[in-house]
Structure 1
Amino acid sequence: MMVKEVAELAGISVRTLHHYDEIGLLHPSGTTEAGYRVYSDEDLALLQQILFFRELGFPLKQIRDIVSRPDFDRREAMELHHKLLLEKRARLERMIDTLEKTMKHEKGEIRMTNQDKFAGFDFSSNPYEQEARERWGDKAVDESNERLNKMSKEEQTQMGEEMNAIYRKLAELRHESPATDEAQQAIGEWYQLLNRMGYYSPEAFKGLGQMYVDDERFTRNIDKFGEGLAVFMRDAMAEYADRRSQ
Structure 2
Amino acid sequence: MLVTSAAHRDARPREEAPPSADGLTVGRAAALVGVSVKTLHHWDAIGLVRPSGRTWAGHRVYSGDDVARMHRVLVYRELGFPLAEIGRILDDPDADERDHLRRQRAQLVERIDRLRKMLDAVDRMLEASGRGMRLTPEEQVEIFGADWRPAWVEEAEERWGDSAQWAQYAERAAAMSPQDWRDVKAETDALHADLAAACRAGVAPGSAAANALAERHRALMSRYFDCTHAMHACIARGYVREPGFADYYDAFAPGLTVWLRDVIFANAAAHGVDPQTAAWE
Normalising to structure 2: TM-score of the pair? 0.41
Q: Which structure has the greater CA radius of gyration?
A: 2
Q: Which has the higher contact order (CA 8 A, sep 6+)?
A: 1
The structure that is helix-richer by fraction is 1
Normalising to structure 1: TM-score of the pair? 0.47
